[in-house]
Amino acid sequence: MKLAICCYVDNKPAIIEEFRWLYTSWVYSGGSGTILAFAHPGVLKAVTLPGVRVIETDPLTERDPIWAEYPFINSIGYLSRAPASTFNGFTHILRTDCDCFLTPNFPRQAPRLPLFGRGQYVQTREVAVKIAEMAERLSLSYSWCHNIGSTILAQAQAVRHFDGQQYEVARFLHLEGFPDGRGAWPGWWWGVLTMYAGEIVANAMWGMGVCVGGLDCMSLSGDPIGALDYHVHAWTSAQDFSKNNFRAGHYDLISLASLRPDSVRNYCLMIAKMAAQGGPDEKR
């Protein structure tokens, strides 16, 4: 498997910082695969790092005015817009957000079927029913597989097709799915429409063959990193590890030297501190 690790780096200090987390975890875990950083024109210098291929990519928020207030759209749709030659030599793609950490188990992952992370956006029956209704309006088959995460690992062509279809469904949901306003969390809510779109497309493409797990593990866990934990997603919760707490300085008194990767949350904090101090020279 020749793997491309793909993310979109937007022109925001927080996302540049998060990309450093992803990059540092990639180095720490052994540098498996190649990072393809699809980057806003304003951040090219910041993401030019050893082992990273940088692809200048205009954000969708600047290409289409309907997305001006929805920056999350920039994290999807960029793979399908890139020239096919960008992926020459790669058999598989991991599409991930920047606020993620690859674990030391990542180089050993080898899923045969498309693998997704786990989300938590379907918390009410209203949301489940609305997603099914939207799929029916789009004439797409739907298998009721819920809470599919934002991260996907699959064959390169499949991921690029998924990425393009997810964008098209997200655009439909934005224009047609919220006629009475933007809704409210944890109900049907405009703020996670890309997640709804991903669920609809994953169900349509793979049905009950959707595999969920190993990716988007919770950064809040105090458990040791399990053998099937390949990839951790940072959360905004008040619990540790929280990216909000990190930026608020809650961990400033914890020294990097005192940290060990003995739990998921400690691993995330260790990597984030490494990144803030210039990144690892080698695996400790």
> Six-digit token pair at 113?
């079927």
**How far is it between the farthest Cα atoms of the chain?**
55
What letter would DSSP give residue 224? P
Residue-range domains of the chain with CATH: 3-276 (3.90.550)
Identify residue 251 by its one-letter amino acid code.
Y
Q: How many CB atoms lie within 10 A of CB 172?
A: 16
Q: What is the reported pLDDT for 284?
A: 39
Instruction: Please tell me whether residue 190 adopts helix, strand or coil conformation.
Output: helix
- Taking residue 61's Cβ as centre, other Cβ atoms within 10 Å add up to 19
Instruction: Tell me phi and psi for residue 36, to 5 degrees.
Output: -105, 105
Could you tell me the two tokens for 129? 């029913």
Q: What residues of the chain score a pLDDT lower than 50?
A: 282-284
Give whole-number Cα distances, 169 to 61, 138, 200, in Å. Answer: 16, 8, 8
pLDDT at residue number 235: 82
Which single residue is written with the structure tokens 């991991």? Answer: 94
For tokens 């779109």, the residue is 197
Tell me the whole-structure pTM to 2 decimals.
0.95
Q: How far apart are CA 29 and CA 230, in angstroms?
A: 10
What is the SS3 assignment for 245? Answer: helix
**What pLDDT does 106 receive?**
94
Q: What is the pLDDT of residue 22?
A: 98
What does the pLDDT read at residue 216? 96
Task: Look at residues 171, 190, 173, 174 and name the one whose alpha carbon lies nearest to residue 182.
Answer: 190
Other CB atoms within a 10 A radius of the CB of residue 165 amount to 22
Cα gap 33→72, rounded to integer Å: 25
Res 151: pLDDT: 97
- Cα distance between residue 24 and residue 91, in whole Å: 24
| Cα 97 to Cα 76: distance, rounded to the nearest angstrom | 9
Distance of alpha carbon 190 from alpha carbon 192, whole angstroms:
6
